[in-house]
Amino acid sequence: MFGQRHIDPAPGTHYRSERVSAVNGQYFFATREGTLEGPFFTRVDAEREITSYIRRMQQASRLVENRAF
């Protein structure tokens, strides 16, 4: 994902890091929001859940933006 969210600060130097990590045989992924999601049984499961997580976050963002106050 190369886009910038409207809540992100101004463009700067960004370093890519591995989002999936293994701890005691279980897999987790780190989010931009600073959370660690998991555990998952396999790396493939964790990577698949990254896609689901992004989709949920985008959907939540659209709901908040479209909500009438």
Domain annotation covers residue 49: yes
Give exposure, 23-42, as e/b (b: 16+ Cβ within 10 Å): eeeebbbbeeeeeebbebee
Domain annotation covers residue 14: no
| Residue-level pLDDT at 14 | 56
- The total number of structural domains in the chain stands at 1
Per-residue pLDDT of 6-54, as tens digits, reads: 666 666 665 556 889 999 999 999 998 899 999 999 999 999 999 999 9
Q: What is the reported pTM?
A: 0.67
Range of the domain at 54: 20-66
Domain annotation covers residue 39: yes
Domain annotation covers residue 24: yes
